Amino acid sequence: MASESTMERASAPRTAVDGRADVVAEPGYALAAEDVGVRYNLRFNRKTPIRESVASALTRKPAATFWALRHISIRLDHGESIAVIGPNGAGKSTLLQVLGGILRPSEGRVDARGRVSGLLTLDVGFDRQLTGRENTRLGCAFLGLDGTTTTELMPSIIEYAGLGDFIDVPLKTYSAGMRARLGFAIATSVDPDILLLDEVLATGDAAFREKSKARVVELLEAAKAVVLVTHDMSWVTEYCNRAILIENGTMIKDGDPGEVVALHQERMESAKERRKQDAVAAGADANALVAR
């Protein structure tokens, strides 16, 4: 459930087309989302036979649906860094895709004011058969940069990524850390107003992690806005202004990073203890059946 403060900040009068990332009529913020939901239709999936799917469609049987996100409301101001935390499968990456305009929400509205740049997965926009240099051009094109601007930025991107001669080697030879370095260098080369990052600061060597953190701090000092999905709680408490806890697609808490991290850790420990108790109970039931 979204906090009252979040809902109040995100409740300004709006003009938008339903389900599209086009909102809002309130000055001052960098990014705003109101009552966002993402629903998936489970009729067609790998585990559903084609015959069953077609029969269901022909009989107009209601399709099973799954809400990956529901009733998410956020307002991000310039100069804010928000960490999105939660257990695996909570909907964190889905939220970033919606905020970045990659995924269209099933309900609710999103408005981004300024240039949005993001590194949401290590391979997004990359072609593993192309070299690092060729992928840099491809990545810049995805960010809307023309050829002249890309050529001007190329030396600084290559230098920042620190890949040396590997910049002219096919990406399929890169490690995950090398891909992350190149992706981060491209994503931050355009001086974005809003930067979206999904776990990329946890990848690569220690030196580059410190370098990338310093770059994020520079963006914040320049009144840019950052949304970061991470499992690194030290980064959340040290560098973020706010934190959001998401579980099962819904917002549990939006507030002070230390308080949100403490709540997250408490709930994770409780869930772990419940699983342990369930396992003990299941073992006892199995032993009882054998004894019979």
Task: Report, as an integer, the average pLDDT of 116-138.
Answer: 84
Q: 46-69 pLDDT, tens per residue? A: 455 555 555 555 555 566 888 999
Report the distance separating Cα 267 and Cα 288, nearest Å.
Answer: 31
pLDDT of residue 176: 83
Query: What is residue 51's predicted lDDT score, i.e. its pLDDT?
Result: 56
pLDDT for 43 beyond 60: yes
CA proximity to 118, closest of 137, 141, 101, 135: 101
Cα-flanking dihedrals φ and ψ of residue 281, to 5°? -65, -40
Residue % of the chain over a pLDDT of 70: 77
Position 233 scores a pLDDT of 93
| pLDDT tens track for 244-253 | 999 999 999 9
pLDDT tier, 239 (very low <50, low <70, confident <90, very high otherwise): confident
Q: Does position 276 have pLDDT exceeding 70, yes or no?
A: yes
Contact 143, 190 (CB under 8 A): yes
pLDDT tens by residue, 174-233: 988 888 889 888 888 888 889 898 876 666 677 888 888 888 888 878 878 999 998 889
The yes-or-no verdict on residue 126 having pLDDT over 90 is no
Contact 16, 111 (CB under 8 A): yes
* HEC sequence for 115-137: CEEEECCCCCCCCCCCEHHHHHH
Instruction: Give the whole-angstrom CA distance, residue 114 versus residue 116.
Output: 6
- The band of 122, judged by pLDDT with boundaries at 50, 70 and 90, is low
Cβ pair 82, 230 in contact under 8 A: no
Looking at residues 77-101, what average pLDDT do you find? 93
- Does the pLDDT value for residue 22 go beyond 70? no
The reported pLDDT for the residue numbered 189 is 85
List C-alpha distances in Å: 59 to 48, 50, 56, 66, 270. 16, 14, 5, 21, 44
**C-beta contacts of 143-150 below 8 A and 24+ residues apart:** 143/117, 143/186, 143/187, 143/190, 145/190
Question: What average pLDDT does the segment 72-84 reach?
Answer: 93
Residues 6+ apart with CB under 8 A from 29: 75, 76, 77, 78, 113
Token pair belonging to 287 = 């032993």
What pairing do the DSSP bridges indicate for beta strands 242-247 and 81-85?
A: parallel
Q: Assess whether pLDDT exceeds 80 at residue 267.
A: yes
| pLDDT at residue 252, as a whole number | 97
Residue holding tokens 């084609």?
50
Mean model confidence pLDDT for the chain? 81
pLDDT of res. 30: 93
R_g of the chain, CA atoms, integer Å: 22
Res. 120: pLDDT tops 80: no
Of 10-19, 102-111, 120-129, 156-165, minimum mean pLDDT range: 10-19
Strand residue runs (E) in the chain: 29-41, 65-77, 81-85, 107-112, 116-119, 194-198, 225-229, 242-247, 250-255
Q: What is the pLDDT of residue 4?
A: 40
The predicted structure's pLDDT at residue 21: 37
